[in-house]
């Protein structure tokens, strides 16, 4: 008994008190990484705001021959604004109660939005045949033309006065729900049904069959592709059911690692990504460079995130590092976002080409986790360590691929089933949920617990976002597949990272011989899961 009790006490201790030598105390973002002092930041921010106001007044009436130079000025101003965003973000991550930094950050974002909106409006006035003369900003002008709202004036008014505020109230009401209350499921169902109805009407007013189809197109995907991918994942669902039966067993966690050991493990696993990638990652993870913060503690945001900036070192902040393999995997993921941004900065494409569909960002980051967990399993020095890493690899892959497929199938069915019908009720949502997950589950109760779908907050807060996770998984397993066989992988992958988003996603992925609709990608992932499960039985 006393022994058990001691173990319990140790487990309950705050994480920071456990491994004395994790080395995380030294891991802090340097306060002078972006500005020499707070006073210098403030002075620069004030003069930048005045510059934004002058530009916003100048842009709408800018003469055609003045546009190229003006676009360069807007670009430089955007880069400068982002450096302030990064600095202020760092302050709010380090101290959640810093209201002044939060308000200043909001003001900088507002300046950036004003600049964007004004510029987009001006670019729409550029006649199509003059767009090529804009050089590196030509694609931005094309996107501005494509983006024109297709709503009728009436539909636009309805959208502004009804749809958008109602969506905000639905997300807020969801936030107030107590999951344990008996009344919560019917209320959640009616919130969800109202949201779906609003979204579908809004999409139909724009000429789409439903809101799901609209969202998929905005992500450079299509409903036909989603159906193909879901069918491909469903065809391999047996491996997920086998995995579920296996999860009852759980190997003991190996000893926690110090930051130095974690760093070495990460860098070793990234060997297939090339020397440039690993040396950049090494620099990010070196506390002496003041670009990473792992210290945790009171007042600090509990999150993992990279801090985006275009003309200074990218930084990375994470509060959950405890030396466990799971937390090292998160470092590989979040640090991957930072290094991706760094490569885009080195690539030097215009700022508008350094953002794109979320599933690509996430796919690159999840790929890092697969590399890490696979490497940890292959190089573990004890049977327990090998089993633990193998289990974590399996959990990661099955969660990203199969749980995401369930969620995407569920949300898509909700939106397609609701078109042209009365809003869904709780029984209908429960039924659609049950049908959507049935192919993937090894055992399914007669009646589903509504709380299972109620807890998926993105359904209520960011409609149709979940599909991003499915394609992030597809991209990650595709890269993991290519890295095993492509001898030129490192060079091609680096080229891809540097390009940012200078082309459509299809073209970007084609440069790695990846096609999202290729069913073999899912087959290969399922085969890999089977092999890993066989490793566990040895």
Query: In the complex with Zn ion, which residue's Cβ is closer, 285 or 454?
Result: 285
**Residue 255, SS3 per DSSP:** coil
**Judged by CB under 5 A, which stretch of 147-155, 193-201, 354-362, 509-517 contacts Zn ion?**
354-362
Taking the CA atoms of the chain, what radius of gyration do you get in angstroms?
A: 25
| Token pair listed for 428 | 């209908």
Task: Provide the mask over 306-325, with x wherever binding to Zn ion is found by CB under 5 A and - wherever it is not.
Answer: --------------------
**Judged by CB under 5 A, which stretch of 290-298, 359-367, 497-505, 528-536 contacts Zn ion?**
359-367
Going edge to edge, which strands form the sheet with 292-293? 292-293, 315-318, 304-307
Query: In the complex with Zn ion, which residue's Cβ is closer, 316 or 352?
Result: 316
Rounded to whole angstroms, what are the CA distances from 377 to 240, 393, 521, 537? 20, 8, 22, 14
Query: In the complex with Zn ion, which residue's Cβ is closer, 188 or 325?
Result: 325
| CA–CA gap between residue 361 and residue 43 (Å, rounded) | 34
**Judged by CB under 5 A, which stretch of 130-138, 173-181, 360-368, 410-418 contacts Zn ion?**
360-368
Q: Exposure pattern of 189-206 as b/e (b: 16+ CB <10 Å)? A: bbbbbbbbbbbbbbbbbe
Query: In the complex with Zn ion, which residue's Cβ is closer, 233 or 365?
Result: 365
Residue nearest to Zn ion (CB): 365
Cβ 337 to Zn ion shortest distance, Å: 6
Cβ 13 to Zn ion shortest distance, Å: 29
Query: In the complex with Zn ion, which residue's Cβ is closer, 119 or 315?
Result: 315
Query: In the complex with Zn ion, which residue's Cβ is closer, 369 or 430?
Result: 369
Binding residues with Zn ion: total (CB under 5 A) = 2
| CA–CA gap between residue 482 and residue 164 (Å, rounded) | 43
By 3-state DSSP, what share of the chain in percent is helix, strand and coil, each rounded to 5? Answer: 70, 0, 25
Cβ 244 to Zn ion shortest distance, Å: 25
Cβ 491 to Zn ion shortest distance, Å: 24
Cβ 71 to Zn ion shortest distance, Å: 31
In this structure, are residues 365 and 520 in contact, taking their beta carbons and an 8 Å threshold?
A: no
Give residues 158-177 in contact with Zn ion (rule: CB under 5 A): none
Cβ 371 to Zn ion shortest distance, Å: 15
Query: In the complex with Zn ion, which residue's Cβ is closer, 59 or 292?
Result: 292
Pick from 123, 140, 365, 405 the residue near Zn ion by CB under 5 A.
Answer: 365
> If binding is defined by CB under 5 A, does position 331 make contact with Zn ion?
no
For 306, list phi and psi in degrees, rounded to 5: -100, 150
**Judged by CB under 5 A, which stretch of 3-11, 62-70, 220-228, 357-365 contacts Zn ion?**
357-365
HSE of 217 in the Cβ direction (CA atoms, 13 Å)? 12
| Token pair listed for 443 | 């055992």
Query: In the complex with Zn ion, which residue's Cβ is closer, 254 or 304?
Result: 304
Query: In the complex with Zn ion, which residue's Cβ is closer, 365 or 470?
Result: 365
Cβ 135 to Zn ion shortest distance, Å: 33
**Residue 164, SS3 per DSSP:** helix
| CA–CA gap between residue 305 and residue 93 (Å, rounded) | 9
Rounded to whole angstroms, what are the CA distances from 27 to 17, 242, 266, 303, 334? 16, 41, 16, 15, 15
HSE of 498 in the Cβ direction (CA atoms, 13 Å)? 11
Residues making contact with Zn ion (CB under 5 A): 362, 365
């Amino acid at each position: 008994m006393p022994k058990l009790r001691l173990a319990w006490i140790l487990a309950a201790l705050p994480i920071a008190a456990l491994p004395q030598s994790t080395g995380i105390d030294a891991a802090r973002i340097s306060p002078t990484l972006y500005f020499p002092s707070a006073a210098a930041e403030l002075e620069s921010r004030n003069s930048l705001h005045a510059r934004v106001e002058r530009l916003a007044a100048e842009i709408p009436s800018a003469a055609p021959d003045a546009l190229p130079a003006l676009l360069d000025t807007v670009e430089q101003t955007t880069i400068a604004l982002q450096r302030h965003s990064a600095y202020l973000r760092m302050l709010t991550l380090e101290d959640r109660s810093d209201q002044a930094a939060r308000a200043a950050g909001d003001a900088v974002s507002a300046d950036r939005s004003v600049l964007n909106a004004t510029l987009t409006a001006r670019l729409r006035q550029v006649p199509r045949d003059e767009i090529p003369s804009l050089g590196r900003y030509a694609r931005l002008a094309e996107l501005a033309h494509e983006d024109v709202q297709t709503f009728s004036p009436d539909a636009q008014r309805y959208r502004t006065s009804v749809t958008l505020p109602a969506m905000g109230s639905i997300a807020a009401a969801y936030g107030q729900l107590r999951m344990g209350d008996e009344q919560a499921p019917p209320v959640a169902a009616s919130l969800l049904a109202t949201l779906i109805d609003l979204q579908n009407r809004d999409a139909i007013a724009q000429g789409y069959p439903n809101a799901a189809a609209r969202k998929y197109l905005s992500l450079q995907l299509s409903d036909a592709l989603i159906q193909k991918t879901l069918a491909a994942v469903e065809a391999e669902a047996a491996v997920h059911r086998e995995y579920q039966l296996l999860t009852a067993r759980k190997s003991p966690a190996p000893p926690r690692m110090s930051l130095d050991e974690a760093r070495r493990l990460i860098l070793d696993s990234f060997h297939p990504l090339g020397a440039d990638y690993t040396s950049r990652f090494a620099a990010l993870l070196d506390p002496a460079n003041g670009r990473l913060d792992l210290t945790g503690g009171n007042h600090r945001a509990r999150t993992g995130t990279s801090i985006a900036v275009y003309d200074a070192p990218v930084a990375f902040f994470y509060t959950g590092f405890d030396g466990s393999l799971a937390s090292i995997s998160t470092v590989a993921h979040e640090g991957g976002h930072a290094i991706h941004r760094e490569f885009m900065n080195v690539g030097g494409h215009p700022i508008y080409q350094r953002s794109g569909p979320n599933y690509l960002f996430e796919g690159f980051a999840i790929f890092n986790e697969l590399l890490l967990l696979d490497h940890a399993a292959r190089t573990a020095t004890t049977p327990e360590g090998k089993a633990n890493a193998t289990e974590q690899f399996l959990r990661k892959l099955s969660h990203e691929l199969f749980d995401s497929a369930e969620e995407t199938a569920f949300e898509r069915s909700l939106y397609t089933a609701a078109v042209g019908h009365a809003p869904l009720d709780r029984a209908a949502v429960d039924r659609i949920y049950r049908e959507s997950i049935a192919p993937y589950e090894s055992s399914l109760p007669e009646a589903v617990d509504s709380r299972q779908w109620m807890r998926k907050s993105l359904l209520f807060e960011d409609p149709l976002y979940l599909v991003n996770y499915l394609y992030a998984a597809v991209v990650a397993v595709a890269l993991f597949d290519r890295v095993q066989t492509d001898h030129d992988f490192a060079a091609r992958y680096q080229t891809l990272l540097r390009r940012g988003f200078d082309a459509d996603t299809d073209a970007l992925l084609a440069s790695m011989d990846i096609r999202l609709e290729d069913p073999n990608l899912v087959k290969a992932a399922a085969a890999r899961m089977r092999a890993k499960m066989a490793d566990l039985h040895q």
